[in-house]
């Protein structure tokens, strides 16, 4: 999910995806203890433009890609428009997750938002990238985003909608240990501000992958940034992996952290 984190009581918390993703599992109030693994560079590399655009658009079903808007990241400035679309859907590869409380160079979360999400949640992602580029430190960035939610600068979408995260691969915090992993968990994220797993009777368990195939809530940093996550089925996932093989090969050749780990017996 585009930004994923979890509570120890098995309630999904910030960041999957995002998004996790960021699933897109991606997220953050549980993040402080999640980054106890390997150290990572904090400067962001600039991806080749063609590869980054393909990666961003892979978050969408193929039939929706031609009409989507695409932004690419200039690490020195923030996101810049590559292509203006006509559908209201906007795609990019998220590299900075404000909830994380850590600046890394190995986070890659391709995601796309519909029009309602573009005007709200995506704005936060783009602003976080710009503030990082301007030199704002991690703690200040978290505080600034929280302040903007409190004063109304940022708001949750006013109507239902979703973020697409059906890419074949992404890299962020995820199961089973809330550390940074390269994951293949295509999914969609429906906007669910202020909704909890208890509200929908969900009981996601990071140690039991099958439990994640039922809808669950991913709280990404704050209650306003909560999503209902739905993973795609195994047959659909297999098709995505097959259809996107060329992209997966190119991403793996570009950077080994984007290689999907070999399946364990």
d(CA 224, CA 84): 28
Which residue matches tokens 């160079």? 105
Cα end-to-end distance, the chain, whole Å: 25
Please check whether residue 142 is in contact with residue 98, taking contact to mean a CB–CB distance below 8 angstroms. Answer: yes
Which residue matches tokens 């190119």? 250
Instruction: Tell me the pLDDT of the chain (265 aa) as tens digits.
Output: 544 433 333 333 433 433 333 333 333 333 333 333 344 566 899 999 999 999 999 999 999 999 999 999 999 999 999 999 999 999 999 999 988 878 999 999 999 999 999 999 999 999 999 999 999 999 999 999 999 999 999 999 999 999 999 999 999 988 888 889 999 999 999 999 999 999 999 999 888 888 899 999 999 888 999 999 999 999 999 999 999 999 999 999 999 999 998 754 3
Identify the pLDDT of residue 206.
Answer: 80
| Model pLDDT for residues 126-162, shown as the tens digit of each residue | 999 999 999 999 999 999 999 999 999 999 999 999 9
What is the chain's alpha carbon radius of gyration, rounded to the nearest angstrom? 16
Task: Show Cβ contacts of residue 12 under 8 Å, excluding neighbours closer than 6 positions.
Answer: 4, 5, 6, 25, 27, 197, 204, 216, 217, 218, 219, 229
Please check whether residue 3 is in contact with residue 22, taking contact to mean a CB–CB distance below 8 angstroms. Answer: yes
CA-to-CA dists, residue 28 to 15, 22, 176, 219, 249, angstroms: 6, 10, 16, 8, 30
Please check whether residue 182 is in contact with residue 260, taking contact to mean a CB–CB distance below 8 angstroms. Answer: yes
């Amino acid at each position: 999910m585009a930004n994923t984190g979890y509570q120890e009581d098995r309630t999904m918390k910030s960041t999957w995806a995002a998004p996790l993703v960021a699933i897109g599992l991606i997220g953050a109030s549980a993040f402080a203890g999640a980054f106890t693994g390997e150290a990572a560079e904090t400067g962001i590399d600039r991806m080749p433009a063609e590869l980054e655009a393909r990666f961003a658009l892979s978050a969408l079903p193929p039939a929706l890609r031609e009409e989507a808007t695409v932004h690419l990241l200039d690490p020195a400035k923030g996101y810049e428009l590559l292509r203006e679309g006509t559908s209201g859907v906007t795609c990019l590869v998220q590299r900075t997750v404000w909830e994380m409380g850590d600046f890394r160079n190995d986070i890659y979360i391709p995601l796309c938002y519909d029009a309602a999400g573009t005007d709200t949640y995506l704005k936060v992602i783009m602003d976080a990238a710009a503030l990082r580029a301007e030199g704002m430190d991690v703690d200040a960035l978290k505080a600034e985003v929280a302040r903007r939610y409190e004063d109304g600068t940022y708001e949750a979408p006013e109507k239902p909608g979703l973020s697409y995260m059906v890419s074949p691969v992404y890299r962020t915090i995820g199961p089973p240990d809330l550390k940074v992993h390269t994951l293949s968990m295509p999914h969609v994220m429906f906007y669910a501000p202020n909704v909890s797993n208890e509200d929908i009777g969900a009981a996601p368990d990071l140690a039991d992958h099958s439990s994640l195939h039922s809808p669950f809530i991913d709280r990404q940093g704050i209650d306003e940034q909560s999503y209902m996550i739905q993973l795609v089925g195994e047959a659909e996932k297999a098709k995505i992996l097959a259809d996107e093989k060329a992209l997966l090969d190119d991403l793996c050749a570009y950077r080994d952290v984007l290689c999907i780990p070999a399946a364990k017996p």
